[in-house]
Structure 1
Amino acid sequence: MAIAEVSVVPIGTGSTSISEIVARAVKVVESSGLYYELTPMGTIIEGSLDEIFEVVKKMHESCFVEGVARVLSHVRIDDRRDKRVRAEEKVISVKEKLGNMEDPGP
């Protein structure tokens, strides 16, 4: 299973607000049935590489439905094959290690 972080950025919308167009892209993920987590800077998606690539393409294309002429999409993929790891487990692992560290002070 892979974990991807996806961010779609519609360009030239005539407004500084892009949340309505981004919401359409997130609807694509929602309807895919894949686990996802919306963050302030992107969307985390878990699934097979094929599933993720299919959803990313649909997210990208969904922005053009709104009449946008240009879309910039960023995709980062963590594809670990030695064991199955979920996004939540990665966060828990780091938080556990933070609890074991001494405060370095000022």
Structure 2
Amino acid sequence: MSYVNLSLQVIPGVPEERIYPVVDKVIHMIQETGLKHEIGPMETTIEGELEELLEIVKKSQDICVEEGASRVVSIIKIDYKPEGVTMDEKIKKYR
């Protein structure tokens, strides 16, 4: 099993007062996956298999649309190495 890191920021096209509630639903879905993740002020980073993480991106966009977004901007960063990469190896020295 080769883990990658994917950072996701979703910007739903909803009225300003609805942005946080919609993003909260996306974060809740990510939490429900059981995958290792870290929520930051601008994005959430998730650790897992690439295919599974890309499915989470799709689900995130679907949630935004279901919540009334007329458009969704998703900003994605992927850190991939064939042998795998973990969040711990990158940030444990800072904790």
Question: TM-score per shorter chain, which class?
Answer: 0.7 to 0.9
Distance in 2 (CA, whole Å) between partners of 1:17 and 1:88 is 33
Distance in 1 (CA, whole Å) between partners of 2:53 and 2:76 is 10
Gaps spanning 5+ residues in structure 1: where? 96-106
Q: 1:88 Cα deviation (Å)? A: 2.4
From the CA coordinates, give the structure whose radius of gyration is larger: 1
DSSP 3-state at the match of 2:58: helix
Distance in 2 (CA, whole Å) between partners of 1:23 and 1:5 is 16
2:12 equivalent to 1:10:
yes
Question: One-letter code of the match for 1:8?
Answer: V
DSSP 3-state at the match of 1:81: coil
Question: One-letter code of the match for 2:22?
Answer: I
Q: 1:92 Cα deviation (Å)? A: 2.5
Gaps spanning 5+ residues in structure 2: where? none
Q: 1:28 Cα deviation (Å)? A: 1.4
Q: Which has the higher contact order (CA 8 A, sep 6+)?
A: 2
Q: 1:16 Cα deviation (Å)? A: 5.4
- The within-5 A match list for 1:1-106 is 1-11=3-13, 13-15=14-16, 18-82=19-83, 84-93=84-93, 95=94
Distance in 2 (CA, whole Å) between partners of 1:14 and 1:29 is 23
Contact 2:79 2:85 in 1 (8 A): no
- Which runs of at least 4 in structure 1 moved beyond 6 Å after TM superposition? none
Aligned-residue CA RMSD in angstroms? 1.8
DSSP 3-state at the match of 2:16: coil
Distance in 2 (CA, whole Å) between partners of 1:90 and 1:62 is 30
